[in-house]
Structure 1
Amino acid sequence: MKKNISVISMDSVLQEWLLQKLIKEPPESDSAKELLSGIYDMVSGEVNSLLLSTVKNSEIASLNLSDEMKIGELVINPKSRSVTRMGQAVSLTPKEFDILYFLAENRGEVFTKEQIYKAVWSENYLLDDSNIMAFIRKLRKKIEPNPDEPKYILTIWGIGYKFNDKV
């Protein structure tokens, strides 16, 4: 099965190296200027991540990447960073929303706690499994019809979590 997304941490040394490499030796590519601009944005702190894709810009528009996701009783809207369940607004903290959106965007894929942490936080992973577990527990209380028998965010024992792709 092909992975939907791969998260790779990029430190300031790598950002600076890429920036200098693109300035000094720009490749003959239509995307080079766009990548250079994205790296500038990262170095300046305007953004903390970039999404690199082999999908062409003309195809991205048809993917509806920013449109809301309807999954069972949930509606997740990344533009407004809002979630509703059965038409009722669900109040999430920014990190709860980020975790939910990351898992929902990658439905069916199992992630370790470390992978979830690296995808949502820009800092290095802290060896504290209880942090992610607490966020998942709070999320389940807010989005699951029965948090003790989750139907959206599933625990894969011994590995981590996944968003149910059967909903």
Structure 2
Amino acid sequence: MAQTVLVADDDPDIRDVVGIYLRGEGFRVVEAEDGRRVLELLESEPVDLVILDVMMPGMDGIRTCFKIREASAIPIIMLSAKGEHIDKITGLTTGADDYVAKPFNPLELIARVKAQLRRQSLASGSPRQPANDAVIEIDDLTIDRKRHLVTVRGKEVSLTPIEFSILEFLAGHRGQVFNVEQIYRNVWKEDKFCSDNTVMVHIRNIREKVEEHPREPRYIQTVWGVGYKVE
């Protein structure tokens, strides 16, 4: 059965172009012109991924992303015509998994869609870890790889798929230091690396959710000038 991608943009030309490329790769496509329509479709359609424009009338992409994240961990790729760092940080902080600035290469967007869906499939598929590695426990932090569940001090923490993958990767290599490029290549499973703050924003989001004192992190530690580690 074809996977479904919801394309949300108030520009019908962009929806048409993205839809043509997606359908050419075998995806089923549904479209929305604003955030409210996105939320309606998510309640009635079996959607596997959302492509969400930031600037839309009525309910914009940032507010829509926030509303989606209140109920779902579905992969979200944000689009923005501005291409400013603040837009990217806002989108990722709200819960988006990836961000593409307009104008964009449709083939690159399709590659990012496939990467997100592949990661989602691996996370929800059959366990790839030995039974004794299925659960990682570090002090009050527990990462259940089979159930894709994180608890801190006995309370469940809601992480996006990307956030979970980053935390799982670092915790699975406890004590090892990884720079942002190594984290990107291992989590995003892409050879192409753009030197930006995507990884840092996601790590900041994780800290806000799992750390009791995010500015003095206990789990994900910064090794200045090198990268990050879970000790």
* 1:126 aligned partner: 194
**Aligned CA-pair RMSD:** 2.2
Counterpart residue type for residue 138 of structure 2: I
Counterpart residue type for residue 156 of structure 2: A
Identity %: 45
TM superposition outliers: structure 1 runs of 4+ over 3 Å: 45-48
CA-to-partner distance for each residue in 1:75-104, whole Å, 9 max, x for gaps?
Answer: 100111110011111000000000000000
* DSSP-derived class of the 2:137 partner: strand
| Structure 2 residue 182 is matched with structure 1 residue 115 | yes
| Structure 2 residue 226 is matched with structure 1 residue 156 | no
| Structure 2 residue 151 is matched with structure 1 residue 84 | yes
Counterpart residue type for residue 110 of structure 1: V
* DSSP-derived class of the 2:176 partner: coil
Counterpart residue type for residue 126 of structure 1: C
Bigger strand fraction: 2
Per the TM alignment, residue 125 of structure 1 is displaced from its structure 2 partner at its CA by 1.2
Q: 1:156, 1:150 → 2: CA distance? A: 12
Per the TM alignment, residue 157 of structure 1 is displaced from its structure 2 partner at its CA by 0.4
Q: 2:149, 2:188 → 1: CA distance? A: 19
Q: 1:84, 1:159 → 2: CA distance? A: 28
Cα pair 1:66 1:79 within 8 Å, conserved = no
Per the TM alignment, residue 66 of structure 1 is displaced from its structure 2 partner at its CA by 4.7
Counterpart residue type for residue 78 of structure 1: R
| 1:25-104 equivalence runs, <5 A | 63-64=130-131, 66-104=133-171
* Bigger shift: residues 96-105 or 72-81: 72-81
* DSSP-derived class of the 2:193 partner: coil
Per the TM alignment, residue 64 of structure 1 is displaced from its structure 2 partner at its CA by 2.6
* 1:8 aligned partner: none
Which consecutive residues of structure 1, in runs of 5 or more, have no partner in the other structure? Answer: 1-44, 49-59
Which consecutive residues of structure 2, in runs of 5 or more, have no partner in the other structure? Answer: 1-114, 120-127
Per the TM alignment, residue 126 of structure 1 is displaced from its structure 2 partner at its CA by 1.4
Cα pair 1:83 1:89 within 8 Å, conserved = yes
In 2 relative to 1, CA 133–47 (structure 1 residues): closer, same or farther, beyond 3 Å? closer
Counterpart residue type for residue 107 of structure 1: R
Q: 1:110, 1:76 → 2: CA distance? A: 19
* 1:139 aligned partner: 206
